[in-house]
Amino acid sequence: MANMSNQIFNVQLNKNKQNFECPEHNSILEGGLRHGLAMRYECSNGTCGVCKARLINGDIKKIKHHDYALSADELDNQEFLMCCHAPGSELELEVDLIGDVRSIPVQEIQIKIKNIHFVSDDMAIVSVRTPRSKTLQFMAGQDVELSFKGVVSRYPIASCPCHGMELEFHIRNIKANKFSQLVFSKQIKDKSKLDLTGPKGVFVLKETSTKPMVFIAWDGGFAPIRSLVEHAFSLEMSNPMTFYWAYPASDPAPYFDNHAQSWHAVMDDYHYQTVACEFDRSNENDCHKVAKQIYDSLDHDMVNQSEVYISAPAEVLIYLGEFLLENGLNESQLIASPI
């Protein structure tokens, strides 16, 4: 009878003072990514050599053949490929994590649509897969450009980097956006191949901050917020978290309300509040009105002590940012991304 035991070992990264648990049958790369660590990798199959690490203490087990050949010096230095090795004991490693979002190269990858789920007449949740040999390296909260037959549009990634090959996008049906028209006319459908270029943008989590976190999204601005929140969960950050989700009062609820509710099960210190906003879509000046309605719904004492992440249209962002800064928020606490 097969031995079904799967021992779990602690892996300590000595440079970054971080650690994670990794089952003995999983690659160390997989274990680290699942725990939200920004590990460098590309192919996940032993070809590129990007996931090199140095073993300081403990035993590793080779679980996959690799074509990439380590030099004699690298082998003498106890270097190995994290995608092809699992822990054989508690480990201490030296790993070069991505410290700065700007150091991630822009990548070009062909992706395939796995599934399109229309949650309403004008909102599609698009799940895609990257090839096994070329996973997208990105940080939670970043954007990419998607292109189909020469039609290009930029979207935030809604999933956490810990999901590896699986990426998710939330696409609103907007008449002036040709890419969204291709999705809603079903010319882009299951199994369609798209070209992805990215990642782009610097809307990322302050992982070392001990302040509470406030997330504010307008409608589809939920996508990068979801990526940030789920990344914070995978990092096991214990900072109190509040999410304000503003949406048009003409809708019954935000389009993924249940998902935002479900985070209560993951974290005790999580508060969720929806903000139904009255506005006239034909009146551009209503961005000010929307920003004021969001601002009036906030717990200002708590917001002023927090890192505040906002994902909203640029005009709403400008007014809301001004209200917050005029009322005591420090500029360094504001992390914003226009959608």
Nearer to ligand FES, 74 or 257 (CB): 74
CA 244 – CA 215 distance, rounded (Å)? 6
| CA distances (Å), origin 204, targets 15, 18, 223 | 22, 19, 13
* Minimum distance of ligand FES from residue 96's CB (angstroms): 13
Nearer to ligand FES, 24 or 79 (CB): 79
For residue 305, the tally of other CB atoms under 10 A from its CB is 14
Give the nearest distance from C-beta 39 to ligand FES in angstroms. Answer: 9
Shortest spacing between CB 83 and ligand FES, in angstroms: 3
User: Between residues 29 and 310, which has the closer beta carbon with respect to ligand FES?
Assistant: 29
Q: Residue 318: helix, strand or coil by DSSP?
A: helix
Report in angstroms how near the CB of residue 110 gets to ligand FES at its nearest: 18
DSSP structural state of residue 214: E
Q: Could you list the residues that contact ligand FES (CB under 6 A)?
A: 41-44, 46-51, 68, 81, 83
Q: How far, rounded to the nearest angstrom, does the alpha carbon of residue 299 sit from its chain's CA centroid? A: 26
- Residue 48 CB, shortest distance to ligand FES, in Å, is 3
Q: How far is the CB of 35 from ligand FES (least distance, A)?
A: 17
Instruction: Give CA–CA dist 210/226, Å, rounded.
Output: 20
CA distances from 138 to 44, 103, 202, 229, 279 (A): 15, 10, 11, 15, 35
Q: Which is nearer to ligand FES, 43 or 228 (CB)?
A: 43
In angstroms, the CA 339 to CA 183 distance is 18
Output the smallest distance, CB 81 to ligand FES, in A.
Answer: 5
Q: From the CA atom positions of the chain, what is the Rg in Å? A: 22
Nearer to ligand FES, 54 or 206 (CB): 54
Residue with structure tokens 């048009």? 248
CB atoms within 10 A of CB 192: 18
Kindly state the smallest distance separating residue 41's Cβ from ligand FES, in Å: 4
3-state secondary structure (DSSP) of residue 22: strand
43 or 329, CB closer to ligand FES?
Answer: 43
The residue type of 170 is H
Helix axes 314-326, 286-297, angle to 10 degrees: 50
Catalogue the E-assigned strands of 49-204. 52-57, 60-62, 79-81, 85-87, 91-94, 107-120, 123-129, 143-148, 151-156, 166-172, 193-200
Identity of the residue, 137 or 234, whose beta carbon is nearer to ligand FES in the bound complex: 137
The residue (of 82 and 214) whose beta carbon lies closer to ligand FES is 82
